[in-house]
């Protein structure tokens, strides 16, 4: 942009590369940061810079965590018979917000999407099978909570086919979530009902 000092332009370009941020929002944010007190800017910069260093994948559920195992896997009050399979870490947050689910999780980090070239081998499906093998006596049910859209449904069906021969109960969230929608944006009441009314697949 003509008339914008290079360091500001650099920040605008970086912000614009984020999802949901267009050129106008990027400029607004950059100029806002410029007006912020030095210590706040420092905190913001440090939290971004250290983010990746301090986050790892929990070796049990594959969720992002600061510790391994993560807080949920480590919590003795969680029900170890039930594992809820979700697409990404934001879905764990959405389900935790309902306060009705007390089991453990498994994060796939995506869904099967042939159009984008994402196959089962690109997801954390193998670690789920290994986890099931290693905890055969503990795990009795796997609740597949992928999103109620085409890719989510296809992934659920694929998982169900793999899991049934393992002798474990396989369930899916009840209908009621908006079709084509995203779990992450479902309201808590709808999501709670969907968890409680889960059905066998």
Binding-site ranges for Zn ion (CB under 5 A)? 58, 60-61, 69-70, 73
Residue 12 or 128 with smaller CB distance to Zn ion: 128
Least distance from Zn ion to the Cβ atom of residue 50, Å:
21
Residue 11 or 107 with smaller CB distance to Zn ion: 107
Residue 26 or 95 with smaller CB distance to Zn ion: 95
User: Residue 180 has which token pair?
Assistant: 């084509």
Least distance from Zn ion to the Cβ atom of residue 58, Å:
3
Least distance from Zn ion to the Cβ atom of residue 169, Å:
21
Least distance from Zn ion to the Cβ atom of residue 29, Å:
33
CA atoms of 113 and 120, how far apart (whole Å): 9
Name the DSSP letter for residue 140: -
Name the DSSP letter for residue 178: P
Residue 30 or 61 with smaller CB distance to Zn ion: 61
């Amino acid at each position: 942009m003509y008339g914008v000092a290079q360091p500001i332009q650099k920040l605008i370009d970086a912000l614009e590369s984020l999802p949901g941020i267009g050129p106008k929002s990027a400029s607004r944010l950059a100029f806002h940061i410029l007006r912020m007190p030095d210590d706040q800017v420092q905190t913001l910069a440090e939290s971004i810079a250290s983010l990746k260093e301090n986050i790892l994948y929990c070796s049990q559920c594959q969720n992002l965590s600061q510790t391994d195992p993560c807080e949920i896997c480590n919590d003795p009050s969680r029900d170890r018979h039930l594992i809820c399979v979700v697409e990404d870490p934001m879905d764990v947050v959405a389900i935790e917000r309902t306060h009705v689910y007390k089991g453990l999780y498994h994060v796939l980090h995506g869904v099967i999407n042939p159009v984008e070239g994402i196959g089962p081998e690109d997801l954390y499906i193998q670690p789920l099978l290994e986890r099931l093998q290693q905890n055969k006596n503990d795990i009795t049910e796997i609740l597949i909570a992928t999103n109620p859209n085409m890719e989510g449904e296809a992934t659920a069906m694929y998982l169900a086919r793999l899991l049934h021969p393992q002798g474990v109960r396989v369930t899916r969230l009840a209908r009621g979530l908006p079709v084509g929608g995203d779990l992450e944006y479902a309201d808590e009441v709808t999501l709670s009902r969907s968890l409680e009314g889960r059905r066998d697949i």
